[in-house]
Homo-oligomer: A and B are copies of this chain.
């Protein structure tokens, strides 16, 4: 599912955290890296981002940390969550720094991304 969202986002530019959709580069696949290395690298990636799209259906300290950091750096944040599943933390759903959307299916999530990117003047640059 993450891989399918990433495919969509790649139409608009570079997806810095593409490894999230790739198991070999996922958290478990990165166990040889130090925590400090991962933290500093991820914040370095965040600092270069024009926009953050966060899938927030699953509780995660790291995702919450990155969202709040993006907000404090004034990076626009879109949060997507699967409709009807677990409630998302009020710190995310109640934050003025996130545009927060439920989705039912991948095409649904793709439509949300298209709409939000259009509003922000971001256009498809590499149609795939």
Q: Does A32 contact B (CB under 8 A)?
A: no
A27 nearest CB neighbor, chain B only: B90
How many chain copies does the complex carry?
2
Interface centre among A37, A64, A67, A96 (most CB of B within 10 A): A64
The reply to whether A62 and B27 form a contact with Cβ atoms under 8 Å apart is no
Which B residues are in CB contact (< 8 Å) with A69?
Answer: 68, 72
Q: Does A107 contact B (CB under 8 A)?
A: no
The reply to whether B95 and A39 form a contact with Cβ atoms under 8 Å apart is yes
When chains A and B are docked, how far (Å) is the Cα of A42 from the Cα of B85? 24
9 contacts between A and B (CB under 8 A): A36-B96, A38-B91, A59-B61, A60-B64, A61-B63, A61-B88, A66-B68, A68-B68, A72-B72
- A residues near B (Cβ < 8 Å) are 27, 33-40, 42, 56, 58-69, 72, 88-96
